[in-house]
Chains A and B, each alone.
Chain A
Amino acid sequence: MKKLFAIAWKDAVIRFSTIAELLFFIILPIIFTLIMAGGTPSGEGDPRIRLVVVDQAQTPVSQGILAELEKSTAVWPDVLSLKEAESQFDAREAAVVLILPAGLDLQAIQNGTAEADLRQQPNNLNATVAARAVQTALRRVGSAVNAANMAVKEAEASGTFESETDRQAYFNDALKLAQTAQAETPERVTVIEGATPDPTEYDPRANQSTGQMITWVFIPLFGISALFAYERQQGTLRRILTTPTTKATYLFGTIAGQVAVAMVQMTILVLFGIFVMKLGWGREPLALFVIMLASALAAASIGVTMGTFVKSEGQASGLSTMFGMVMALLGGCWYPLEMFPPVVQNLVKVLPTTWAMEGMLDLVLRGRGLIDILPEAGVLLGFAAVFFTVGVWRFRYE
């Protein structure tokens, strides 16, 4: 026990020998969480997509379109001048711009010449969703006119109008009826949110808090490989041969020390999530401890195995950062797995980051408890057992 503590303490001292380590230990994870969470809507803000609208028409029709867009659940209209809108669009600060041109009025709709322009950034999901919302708003505004036109056609099918004035009067009356009917239209769709065992308020920032925590804990734990390479280069590993210390004791001590440091790091980031980002990390402390420990053990064991393959500290440092980033990306730590193609969603189940992410999201996002995260914790401990065994098997002092 004393040996384990001594090895763990020695590793902690080596790791924090420079103040710069704090940069990667706590400062960068917090900066990244804030920046990346800035890219997702907060629970308090308007989660709808900003739709830049240029209203050059200034007619009841264009006002009607704006009113429909205000009611949309997908977009919120931000009315700007053409110059501002074009400037933002060209600078790619606006995903989509709707231009309601001069002359967009009732007469134009009746004549079938009414048009609106939608400019969207290519391959942009927000632009795609906004385009659909705009289509719906235009259809709602134009449908009364379409209905009045249909009424005129039906009337013409059963007899002609005496004059163009009569025809127009008929159209105007039908339009009023259509507008009344439209206003009285009942809601035809009801939205019900799916039931989770303990429903929680969905907050996309929870994804970033969790994802960045895993990223910044996994990378240094993979970096255990650099620790081995460093000791090997310094010749200190060889010296351990002269002491009655087994490989397993040495490796276990190294893992225990780094896992303890990782637990401290995760605790600080969890506290940041609770007190600054107001996330529900604190609901199930025991379950959180279990999944954090299982994740750290899995990552540390992979670091041990990596350490038996790499030759230099520089190589280990580069590979641990690269593997850490790639595993975080593919494990859904940066972008929700929901965004991935279905095949990839299944493929990434071979990564520990995927299981760590799922387990932690179960707690912070889905309000689940210890029983629910046991499968994820079990898989992570499986990773830990396999890689620790490979690490012990392959480990050489020289």
Chain B
Amino acid sequence: MLKTFLIGIKDVRLAFRDRAALTFMLAAPFVLTLGLGLVTGRFSGNSGSGISDIPVAIVNLDDGQLGQALVDAFNSPELADLTEPTFPSDPEAARRLIDEDQAAAAVIIPAGFTQSIIPQASDFESAQPEVVQIEVYTNPERPTSAGIIKAIVDEFISRVEEGRVGGEVSILQMLVSGRITPEQAEDAGNAMSQRLQDEPMTNEAAITLNSSTADGQAVEFDALAYIAPGMALMFLMYTVSYGGRSILAERTQGTLPRLLVSPTSSAQILGGKIFGIFLTGAAQMLILIGASSLIFQLKWGDPLGVVVLVLAAVFGATGWGMFITATARTTAQVANVGSAMMLIFGALGGSFVSLEQMPVFVQAISKITPNAWALNGFTTLGLGGTLADLGTPITALLIMGASLFAVSVYLFGKKDLAQK
């Protein structure tokens, strides 16, 4: 047992003295987390959902209250983080901003927009007013942002329409029911308009929408709580293949036969090497977690849950490291396959793009990666979950690790570890 422990500790020391390895184990995940934090706006104070301060050009040619109301909506505190409105002098200037990729969309409110919806007193006897449409001029290179601007305008219009239909129906129904005569319609309309100005109706929707986040709680989720573990887990795969390389390196460098000359069994040596990989991976993860907590003020969640999940994730990843080593012939093969697997598992496991956005078959394949299960667990913890909520990912990681260890030990047995 002591020998196994000593071999493991020796390998941890070697790994942490290798500057090139440290670049991958610690610097790369840390720098990439920093980069992702920058591009998601985590360090500039937004929610981290990705899009903020969408530049939108607004031209209001309408001289009525509805045009101004839409302008006010874009200037409202509710949209302060989401949009960044500018007000070019005319529609051509606004469209030019889009064509030159200076804004995501232009909202052009034409003259007569209000009048086309709320007829003036003089229009009562005329036919239906001509439809005047708001123009949303979108930037095809910013489809997401332009879609959000369109959704904001749509929502505004739906509110306006609700008021228009309400007003029209109120007057029409009083006419139909004989409560007022056609001659009284204009006065009734003006009276209603006056009353609505004095006591505006609440603009609440008829159907209340109760919004909640996962677990029914209004939890603020730090985007970095997804990004940081994603990167740490990706480079954990490098660490386990690096450790695997050392097993083959000991054989090619001749240090393995020397060890075997001593009263140390091959099982103890293999156990020590695996223990070393496991310890190195755990240390890497815990250093990254500690550093991101201190430097980025990142809250990883329930500490006990974090520690158990880290150990389970490292166990699962070490299983893969062993499997690669057991199937490879040379250290170069382990290095190449390990690097490739690090990147592929990173992509499949959700380190770059959230799994929910992936096609169903990719989501299914991702289950073979420790990254996907562990990232799921870390997200649960980031959302306020505890160790008790981690049953599925931890079980999956342990089964993954145990299965891969069993296969690897069998393959090692067939290869004869001591053979040079």
Contacts and interface: CB of A to CB of B under 8 A. Distances in A.
A181 B168 contact: yes
A118 B99 contact: no
Contacts of A6: none
B59 interface: no
Nearest to A216: B343
Contacts of B179: 155, 158-159
Contacts of B48: 123
Given A133-B151, A190-B133, A191-B136, A342 B28 contact: no
Contacts of A190: 133-136
A335 interface: yes
A22 to B, nearest CB: 10
A126 B347 contact: no
B347 A35 contact: yes
Interface string B30-67: 01100110111100101111111101000000000000
Interface stretch (B204-212, B253-261, B273-281): B204-212
A204 B143 contact: yes
Interface string B58-85: 0000000000000000000000000010
Given A92-B356, A142-B207, A321 B28 contact: yes
A150 B164 CA distance: 11
A291 B211 CA distance: 48
B292 to A, nearest CB: 16
A31 interface: yes
A116 interface: yes
Contact of A74 (B151, B173, B362): B151
Interface residues of A, number: 114
Nearest to A158: B179
A94 B214 CA distance: 11
A344 interface: yes
B358 A38 contact: yes
Interface stretch (A276-284, A292-300, A323-331, A374-382): A323-331
B336 interface: yes
B276 to A, nearest CB: 19
Contacts of B165: 143-144, 147, 178, 181-182, 185
A136 B28 CA distance: 44
B161 interface: yes
A15 interface: no
B20 A318 contact: yes
Contacts of A315: 19-20, 23
Given A181-B168, A194-B99, A119 B216 contact: yes
Given A190-B134, A196-B140, A318-B23, A123 B210 contact: no
B221 to A, nearest CB: 4
B150 A322 contact: no
A132 B51 CA distance: 15
Interface string B192-230: 100100000100011111111110100111110000000
Interface stretch (A169-177, A235-243, A250-258): A169-177
Contacts of B344: 28, 31, 35
Interface of A: 18, 20, 23-24, 27-28, 31-32, 35-36, 38-40, 61, 65, 73-74, 89-95, 104, 109, 112, 114-126, 128-129, 131-136, 138-151, 153-155, 157-159, 170, 173-174, 177-178, 181-182, 185-196, 199, 202, 204, 312, 314-315, 317-319, 321-322, 325-326, 329-330, 334-336, 338-344, 365-366
8 contacts: A121-B213, A128-B49, A143-B166, A146-B166, A147-B165, A174-B170, A189-B134, A336-B144
